[in-house]
Structure 1
Amino acid sequence: MTHELSRGVMLISIDTEMAWGAVHHGSPNRYHWPEERDVLRSLLDILDEYDVPATWATVGHLFLEGCENVEGDVHPEIARPDYPWLAQDWFEDDPCAPATEDSRWYAPDLVREILERRTRHEVASHGFSHLIVGDPGCSAEVFDSELAAARAAAEPYDVELRSFVYPRNSIGHQDVLRRHGYIAYRGVRPDLFGSIHGRLRPLARVGDLLIPTPRSVVRPVLEGDLWNFPATVMYGADLHQGRARLWQWQHRRRLRHAARHGGLFHVWFHPHNLQPDPANALRGLESLCRLAAELRSEGRLETLTFGGLADLLGHHESEHAT
Structure 2
Amino acid sequence: MNAVVLSLDAELAWGYHDLEEIPEHVESARTSWSRLVALFDEFNVPATWAVVGHLFLESCDGTHANHPGPRDDWFDRDPGGVGKQHPLWFNDGLIDAIVDADANHELGCHTFSHVEFGDEQTDREVAVAEARAGLEVADDAGYTLQSFVFPRNNIGHRDVLAAYGFTCYRGERPELWYDGSRFDSLGKFIDLTVSKTNPSLVEPELDEYGLVNIPASMFLFGYEGRARTITERLWDDPLTRSAKRGIDRAADADEGVFHLWMHPNNFTEERDFERLRTILEHLAERRDEARIQVRTMGDIASEIRGTDPATKRTPIGPR
Cα distance 1:182–1:165, how it changes in 2: closer, same or farther (>3 A)? Answer: same
Matches within 5 A, 1:107-256: 107-191=91-175, 206=191, 210-212=196-198, 216-224=200-208, 225-240=210-225, 241-242=228-229, 243=231, 245-256=237-248
| Offset at residue 32 of structure 1 (A) | 3.7
Distance in 2, matches of 1:192 and 1:32, equals 30
| Offset at residue 30 of structure 1 (A) | 2.6
Distance in 2, matches of 1:282 and 1:17, equals 18
Q: Contact 1:237–1:273 (CA<8 Å) still a contact in 2? A: no
1:74-107 Cα shifts (integer Å, max 9, x gaps): 213322225xxxxx52111111111111111111
Matches within 5 A, 1:283-322: 283-315=274-306
Moved over 3 A (4+): 205-209
Distance in 2, matches of 1:273 and 1:163, equals 21
Out of 41, 50, 56, the position equivalent to 2:43 is: 50
Distance in 2, matches of 1:193 and 1:280, equals 29
Distance in 2, matches of 1:93 and 1:291, equals 41
Over aligned residues, Cα RMSD in angstroms?
2.4
Out of 15, 24, 34, the position equivalent to 2:9 is: 15
Instruction: Classify the secondary structure of the residue corresponding to 2:260.
Output: strand
**Residue identity in the other structure for 1:226:** L
1:184-226 Cα shifts (integer Å, max 9, x gaps): 10111122669xxxxxxx79x949952539xx43221221311
- TM value normalised by structure 2: 0.84
Match of 1:81 in 2: 70
For these two proteins, the number of residue pairs brought into alignment is 289
Q: Contact 2:205–2:304 (CA<8 Å) still a contact in 1? A: no
Match of 2:181 in 1: none
Unaligned runs of 5+ in 1: 83-87, 195-201, 317-322
Match of 2:312 in 1: none
Q: Contact 1:59–1:125 (CA<8 Å) still a contact in 2? A: yes
The worse-fitting range, judged by mean Cα deviation, of 260-269 and 122-131 is 260-269
Identity %: 33
Match of 1:31 in 2: 25
Distance in 2, matches of 1:116 and 1:19, equals 23
Distance in 2, matches of 1:119 and 1:23, equals 31
Q: Contact 2:13–2:26 (CA<8 Å) still a contact in 1? A: no
**Residue identity in the other structure for 2:16:** A
Distance in 2, matches of 1:31 and 1:211, equals 31
Unaligned runs of 5+ in 2: 179-186, 308-319
Q: Contact 2:53–2:110 (CA<8 Å) still a contact in 1? A: yes
The worse-fitting range, judged by mean Cα deviation, of 88-97 and 118-127 is 88-97
**Residue identity in the other structure for 1:13:** S
Match of 1:198 in 2: none
Higher RCO, 1 vs 2 (CA within 8 Å, ≥6 residues apart): 1
Q: Contact 1:66–1:99 (CA<8 Å) still a contact in 2? A: yes
| Offset at residue 259 of structure 1 (A) | 1.7
Match of 1:258 in 2: 250
Instruction: Classify the secondary structure of the residue corresponding to 1:143.
Output: helix
Instruction: Classify the secondary structure of the residue corresponding to 1:28.
Output: coil
Q: Contact 1:236–1:274 (CA<8 Å) still a contact in 2? A: no
